[in-house]
Chain A
């Protein structure tokens, strides 16, 4: 039973380039969350998506960042024109149910993360 999968695990970009991070949720999960962990800091929520819908993007920076979770395929977190401050670990999590579920159904399982380094 594969867990949450993220790729690439490590990504190096130069300033001004684009970064695309992919997340495949656990089998049977239709809710995906993205979190960012800056060096020496805690995880911060970025965005919560269901298939083809953004449910909560209150943690997303206003510019350069976007996320999608299409009907088919993985969820994508896209960062345009990366800057050094974007260097961080980006974790994706998935759950089987969203707001309607009980606590156990809402448990979020995390992927191994993508470590983005901007040179």
Chain B
């Protein structure tokens, strides 16, 4: 079983619509959680950290459910520029390495 699992998609989203997707993690010692965005053949870029109480950054909302060991990302009012692969990332308290999910591909269409 992979440490971090994501639905690979693609999620085809009409412009202006809302899309949400989850990721599950298997290591209960995971302490820090992030969503990164990766555009085709480019480096990952931090989209947002995910906090226990849930957090929002503009059109993006992240939630963490420790009991069920999943993280979610919701994108409201989707823009064409939101088309990318979204990477779920976790880190344990014991180390500094990031563990990446395989990514969820989102395609926003006009």
| A interface residues, Cβ below 8 angstroms from B | 31, 33, 35, 41-45, 48, 55-56, 58-59, 89, 91, 93, 95, 98-99, 103-104, 106-113, 115
Asked if B110 lies at the interface with its beta carbon under 8 angstroms from chain A, I say no
Is B103 in contact with A55, judged by CB distance below 8 angstroms? no
Asked if B42 lies at the interface with its beta carbon under 8 angstroms from chain A, I say yes
Is A45 in contact with B43, judged by CB distance below 8 angstroms? no
Question: Which interface class (under 10, 10 to 19, 20 to 34, 35 or more) fits B?
Answer: 20 to 34
Is B100 in contact with A108, judged by CB distance below 8 angstroms? no
| B interface residues, Cβ below 8 angstroms from A | 4, 32, 41-46, 49, 87, 91, 95-103
Asked, given contacts A43-B87, A56-B95, A103-B49, whether A112 binds B100 with beta carbons under 8 Å apart, the answer is no
Q: Name the distance in Å between A102's Cβ and chain B's nearest Cβ.
A: 10
CA distance A102 to B30 in the complex (A): 15
CA distance A106 to B68 in the complex (A): 26
Asked, given contacts A31-B96, A56-B95, whether A43 binds B44 with beta carbons under 8 Å apart, the answer is yes
